[in-house]
Amino acid sequence: MKRLALLFAVVGCADNTLGATSQTATCPATQAFAVSACICEDFADVGNLIVGSSVAQDHATLAVMGATKAINNFQVRGDLRPHGGLTATGNLHVTGSLSTPATVDDIGNIEVDGDLAIGGDLKGIGRLAVGGALSVAGKDTFLGYEEVAATAPYAAVDAPECGCGSNAIDVVGLVAAAKTANDNAAAGVPTSFKNIGATRLALTTGSYYLTDLASIGATFVSITGHVSLYLDGNLEQIGAAWIKLENGGMLDLYVSGSVRSIGHLDLGNPWDPSAFRLYIGGGDKATINVGNQIYNGAIYAPDAVVEYVGNTQIRGAITAKRLTGVGNLELGYAAPQCPVDDPDPTPPAPPAGEPPVLL
């Protein structure tokens, strides 16, 4: 059984089985996670970074709105779009295209299997290999060994379509709206669980608004169908056994404040990591600390710095103000899917075999 957990002291137990017919009117997932990883400001990686796909048909793209600085081993099994320019030291390999309206400065080895489009200057020293066309609008002063299949005039590069800036989702506003428009009353669930001890909630398709989640004792939530859960406040920690997605379940969790620690997340169906989406409205730093485990889900935090610790694997997607860390980070993209009305409510059978790995 795959679970996500927020741990508290256990004091007594209450049971509430919830059902509702309404469904979230909007689906912001496609806006929030249009690319594998979107960094709204600068991105600096020291260590080993691999960006690819967890699902073969989902094309991986790492987009950075600010400056990108990569040291050591940097692999993008897809496209790299460092909109604020790229400084790389060590080994950089992009299997798709690399495009930026700014400057690329490399010391070491840079390989681009597709096209390399640079709106600024190309400089540095080492080895440059381009399997497609190289186009440079500024000066090309790169020194070293070059393997370039073709050259072409530079064409302007548009900004990546990320959930940042004017495209940002108003998570705080969505939570505020859910305070008055939700399925709590129809389903018989209170909005506040403060000081009631241990609770088990079985949520079916619907929209629910909660407060006091960090002070309710031990609360275990079972998700069936598509559930949107709006939390007014902060989450101190997401750990290992708090929320369980039943087979075929989908959860959009909106937190108006901050999520300070994100632990081992292996909930729901690992064959469908896009089934869990976490939207963070606050600006405090969030730390992903999963050890040698896998985070199955997508994180949207355009105003927060997301820090990864140790050997971190994210199977899903991420949008963050900044992404920082030292160690090993592997990101496998799984494109978001909006829920559709299904006349047959029977959950699909889980697939056989092992879940997909990073491509």
Instruction: Please report the pLDDT score of residue 336 as a whole number.
Output: 76
pLDDT given at position 315: 85
| Residue 182 confidence (pLDDT) | 95
Q: What is the reported pLDDT for 342? A: 52
Query: What is residue 349's predicted lDDT score, i.e. its pLDDT?
Result: 56
Q: What is the pLDDT of residue 289?
A: 63
Helix/strand/coil (H/E/C) assignment for every residue in the chain: CCEEECCCCCCCEEEEECCCCCCCCCCCHHHHCCCCEEECCCEEEEEEEEEEECCCCCCCEEEECCCEEEEEEEEECCEEEECCCEEEEEEEEECCCEEECCCEEEEEEEEECCCEEECCCEEEEEEEEEEEEEEECCCECCEEEEEEEEECCCCCCCCCCCCCHHHCCCHHHHHHHHCCCCCHHHHCCCCECCCCCEEEEEECCEEEEEECHHHCCCEEEEECCEEEEEECCCECCEEEEEEEECCCCEEEEEECCCECEECCCECCCCCCHHHEEEEECCCCCEEEECCCCEEEEEEEEEEEEEEEEEEEEEEEEEEEEEEEEEEEEEEEECCCCCCCCCCCCCCCCCCCCCCCCCC
pLDDT at 123: 95
pLDDT given for residue 11 in this prediction: 26
Q: What is the mean pLDDT of each run of 10 residues along the chain (359 residues)?
A: 26 39 58 90 83 84 93 90 94 96 94 97 95 97 94 93 89 95 89 65 89 59 88 70 75 87 56 84 78 76 86 86 81 78 53 62
Q: What pLDDT sits at residue 237? A: 56
